[in-house]
Amino acid sequence: MASLRVRQILLDVMTDTHDGSILPGAGVWERLCTQATNAVPVSGAGVALMTPAGHGGTLAATDGPAAAMENLQLTLGEGPCLDAARDRRPVLEADLVRSGMTRWPGFGPAAVDAGIAAIFAFPLQIGAISLGVLDLYRNAPGSLDTLQFGEALDFAAAATTILLDQQHEAGPGRLHSDLAEATDSHREIHQATGMISAQATVGLTDALLLLRAHAYSHDRSLLDVAKDVVARIVTFAPEDDHRE
Amino acid sequence: MTIADYGSHRSASLSGRLFNDAEDFATLAIELEAARDLNQILADVLEFALTRMSCVGAAVHVSPAGRQLGTTMTSHPQFTVTSTDVDSSQPGEVAPRLMVDLTDGRSTVGTIAFCPAQPDGFSTHDITTAHLIAVHASLAIAAIRTTEDLSAAIEAHTIIGQALGIMMERCAIDADTAFAVLRRWSQDNNTRLQEVARSLITTRRLPGKQDGPARMGVR
């Protein structure tokens, strides 16, 4: 079912020794990001798991703004990867400065600050279920041409195949170690959400919003604040404000 | 469930027109990849069989696997995977049905049954087509089920984490202790960890406990 190009990508990404320029010890997801960056080409790439509740953990990201791109979307709860997963279609923003600021009032300016000028998000999906997103960014504005768009779609198809392959390997009810690592990186966010829900007597959705608002207003990452909540350095009172 | 109940999203290009087999199967593969869920896949597969084979009816059964439910779909209500009563309106002897297993590379995931239009059974070409249909169906079923497994496993991490947070706050315990408590309740009540967690989130108390959350303590 996979096209020849997708098979070639899988072969390149899933074998360790093919490309000497790859860092030793880098995993399949790091290689996918590196090779997508070189092949499309773009400035950098990231792959994240997605759940109906939002960002499910970053599988890999190239150095520099790509990691910031994933963290911002996680912290803010908005951005192209969340839109792509929710709408189950690619989100293409060729000029973030010109049109991304109103599209994503929180993510847009912060992404521009991080050095991102254009961003392209491709859902990793089977049927009605979005499992993740491949995010590509450029440090200069400009859209993908037809060939580049096709190449990006092929990398997204390869990424979906790898996800399924890893899950098939792990078996039902379990997670492959690569995927477990990504979800475990969010452990404190889930725990903090539960804690805030009990502290402020609100539902889990509102608890996550409180956590997010605190992170945003203190210019901190969601994960950092969540760790402080778990360590009981930051607490939330029932009347919706918080103490430190 | 029958394919008429479920409806179909198959493209008009498949109906009536003669393609060669390779193009037909490429179209089927694209349709299956676009299918929203398991039932849509099964409906597409059966419709393909009725269109491309000399076949008066077809049915497919997918077995339950782990926590995933099994399902059955038929082209006509009177035709099931196990029934021998195929179509009383057909004159003459009914030829034996062709049954093909669906496998995911590890085990059999289901069976698809085809009822021939001719009393002398299917042609060699139709039998080949039936086996190819089974391969495409197997791949699509495996992909959608693996996707559902993965999605559920990620969701379980979220739910368990949130439940731990609620316990950590209510009982003033750390994450490891909360996890030990949750796991003990899961074992004592023979309930899966994520179900205990889900129930705790919904009811704000541990399952089987009559006491309120204030009593959610540790030994």
Q: Cα separation of B99 and A193, whole Å?
A: 51
Percentage of residues in chain B with pLDDT exceeding 70?
79
Q: What is the pLDDT of residue B36?
A: 86
Substitution target in B25, B41, B103, B157 with the highest count of A β-carbons within 10 Å is B157
Contact A141, A98 (CB under 8 A): yes
Separation of alpha carbons A179 and A131, rounded Å: 11
**What does residue A59 show for φ and ψ, rounded to 5 degrees?**
-80, -40
So what's the pLDDT on residue B110? 92
Whole-number average pLDDT of chain A? 90
Contact list in A for residue B138 (CB cut-off 8 A) is none
Dmax of chain A from CA atoms? 58
Query: Exposed/middle/buried for A60, CB within 10 Å: 0-12, 13-18, 19+?
Result: buried
Res A1 pLDDT > 70:
no
Tell me the nearest-neighbour CA distance from A72 into chain B, angstroms.
19
Residues of A with Cβ-Cβ distance to B167 under 8 angstroms: 194
Out of A82-86, A208-212, B192-196, B208-212, pick the least confident: B208-212
**pLDDT for residue B97:** 84
> Residue B17: its pLDDT value, please?
41
More reliable by pLDDT, B93 or B121: B121
DSSP string of chain B, one letter each residue: -BHHHH-----GGGSS----HHHHHHHHHHHHHH--SHHHHHHHHHHHHHHHSSEEEEEEEE--BTTBPPEEEESSTT--SS-----TTS-SPPPPPEEEEEE-SSSEEEEEEEEESSTT---HHHHHHHHHHHHHHHHHHHHHHHHHHHHHHHHHHHHHHHHHHHHHHHHT--HHHHHHHHHHHHHHTT--HHHHHHHHHHHSS-TT--S-GGG----
Residues from chain B that touch A230, judged by Cβ atoms under 8 A, are 165, 168, 175
| Lowest-confidence pick of A8-22, A162-176, A230-244 | A8-22
Residue with tokens 């009536």: B16
Closest partner CB to A198 (pick from B66, B147, B170): B170
C-alpha–C-alpha distance, residues B115 and B32, integer Å? 22
Rounded to the nearest integer, the mean pLDDT of chain B is 81
Q: Using CA atoms, how far apart are residues B163 and A2, in angstroms rounded to an integer?
A: 40
Task: Report pLDDT for A238.
Answer: 84
DSSP A244: -
Answer whether residue A153 shows pLDDT above 80: yes
Question: For B175, which of A49, A131, A191 is closest by C-beta distance?
Answer: A191
The per-residue pLDDT for B13 is 44
pLDDT at B1: 74
Which ipTM was obtained for this model?
A: 0.84
Assign A2 a pLDDT band (cuts: 50, 70, 90): low
Q: Cα(B81)–Cα(B93) distance, rounded to whole angstroms?
A: 19
Angstroms from A181 CA to nearest CA on chain B: 11
| pLDDT at A43 > cutoff 60 | yes
How far is A130 from chain B, CA to nearest CA, in Å?
Answer: 8
Q: Which pTM was predicted?
A: 0.82
Q: Summarize pLDDT for B171-182 with one digit per residue, the tens.
A: 999 999 999 999
B 68-107 residues inside an 8 A Cβ radius of A: 68
